[in-house]
Structure 1
Amino acid sequence: MIFDRPTLDGIVAGRVDRAYRRWTRPQVKPGGQQRTAVGVIGFGDVVRVDAEAISDADARAAGQRDAATLRKKLARKDGDVWCVAVHLVGADPRVALRNDATIDADARADLDRRLARMDAAADRPWTRAALEAIRDRPAVVSTELAASLDLERFLFKRRVRRLKELGLTESLEVGYRISPRGAAYLTDQ
């Protein structure tokens, strides 16, 4: 699910506890989670509802001004209207991971193994070059970084997300930067 920043802030503050979406079938499951800019959002009940039965109070609990505004947004798509209970689970675990610059021998061996597997699955090794490019050119738009590595932008971004999962990089408003963990990994090589 995509949440705008005001809605995410409302979830964190406890003002928003549900989201309404129009889907042909539910796109999330109760108990599921999603990482967002504010942390991990959890999903509770997913219930089909009648759009006309949504009250102003329901709409405000979803971060909308009123029911009419919410119904107007929902009218843009086809399918049934679903109400999804949402709550903040906690911080994104990647934040703590990327800020941990202590890489012991076991962690290094694990990272080496994972990066080697990524390189082996690609047409050519790319992980080290991508990490160094991000380290050397922080906050540079992905299009430029991708071109410098002779990669298509979409493929580059997909690969950087894999590095981010390992805590080695972090996304910025524009571009990326190497994380403390990523810097430690590169420094100790």
Structure 2
Amino acid sequence: MRISPTELDAVVAGTLDLAFRRWDRPRVLVGTRMRTRVGLVEVTSVDEVDPATLTEDDARRAGARDLAALLRGLAADPDRPVFRVGIRFAGEDPRAVLRRTPPTADEVAALQARLDRLDRASSSGAWTAATLAVIDAHSERRAPELADELGRPTPEFKRDVRKLKELGLTESLDIGYRLSLRGAAVVDAALRAAGQPVPERAPAPEGTPLPSLGAPATRALRAAGLTTLEAVADLPEADLLALHGVGPIAVARIRAAVGR
């Protein structure tokens, strides 16, 4: 079930708790938790409804300007039934908790065993250590460039990085990736075991990270030296919009993050 970035922000704010979709059959179940850029969104109800019974309150709760706008959005595929889907913000993505939690020695050993299994299961050979190493060396670099460093097709590389993300070892950014605390601990343990030096990593910038804004806005803000929420919190909207790549949606996400 696709939920737009604007709708996701409204779900987090608690101003949107319904979605209406035309489906042949329900595509989500009550209790389903969807992982999104803002965290977990849980499905609280799924009911087939007659569009003629929808109300202005339904439209408001679904984020539409009014009932007429909601019905216009449902005008396509009129032969399909309409489903009323209740949704709510269900908290932080568990992978985010993993990413910032340093693992114990036992957890590092278990993670390394899991990586060994991923290597053995790969038809293209061992890949986990090289992938973690290239992300460690080139944080925030685009995926095609990282894939090229390893001589791998980009789709295949990105698929494997998602496996590392599931383990809480990497974090996807608007541009590229970076190792998490958990990932760095696993990499460092492997280097020590091999008698190799542990790299010195640049400390994370002080302050609150910017929310996900998309690559163009992220590049524009980074070029202007604006890398934290505190750095942009008090900037006038006109100044932000003057940066090529920063649009109204990015500004809205910044303002929403400042207000939380």
- Note the 1:107-122 alignment, pairs <5 A: 107-122=107-122
- Give the letter for the 1:23 counterpart: W
SS at match of 2:126: coil
Aligned alpha-carbon RMSD (Å): 1.5
Is the Cα contact below 8 Å between 2:108 and 2:185 reproduced in 1? no
Is the Cα contact below 8 Å between 1:146 and 1:153 reproduced in 2? yes
Structure richer in strand, relative to its length: 1
Matched residue, 1:181: 182
- 1:30 CA drift (Å): 0.6
- 1:137 CA drift (Å): 1.1
SS at match of 1:8: helix
- 1:13 CA drift (Å): 1.5
Matched residue, 1:88: 89
C-alpha distance in 1 between matches for 2:66 and 2:168: 40
- Note the 1:18-29 alignment, pairs <5 A: 18-29=18-29
- Give the letter for the 1:104 counterpart: T
C-alpha distance in 1 between matches for 2:76 and 2:159: 29
Task: Provide Cα deviations, 1:118-167, integer angstroms capped at 9, x if missing partner.
Answer: 11111211111111111111111112212222222222212111111111
Is the Cα contact below 8 Å between 1:6 and 1:63 reproduced in 2? no
Q: What is the TM-score with the length of structure 1 in the denominator?
A: 0.92
Matched residue, 1:53: 53
- 1:169 CA drift (Å): 0.4
Unaligned runs of 5+ in 2: 191-260
C-alpha distance in 1 between matches for 2:106 and 2:57: 52
SS at match of 1:7: helix
- 1:74 CA drift (Å): 2.7
Matched residue, 1:172: 173
- Note the 1:13-162 alignment, pairs <5 A: 13-77=13-77, 79-101=80-102, 103-123=103-123, 124-162=125-163
- Give the letter for the 1:42 counterpart: E
List structure 1 runs of 4+ shifted beyond 4 angstroms.
none
Is the Cα contact below 8 Å between 1:44 and 1:85 reproduced in 2? yes
- 1:174 CA drift (Å): 1.3
- Greater relative CO, 1 or 2 (CA 8 Å, sep 6+): 1
* Identity in percent: 44
Is the Cα contact below 8 Å between 1:21 and 1:82 reproduced in 2? yes
SS at match of 1:90: coil
- 1:72 CA drift (Å): 2.5
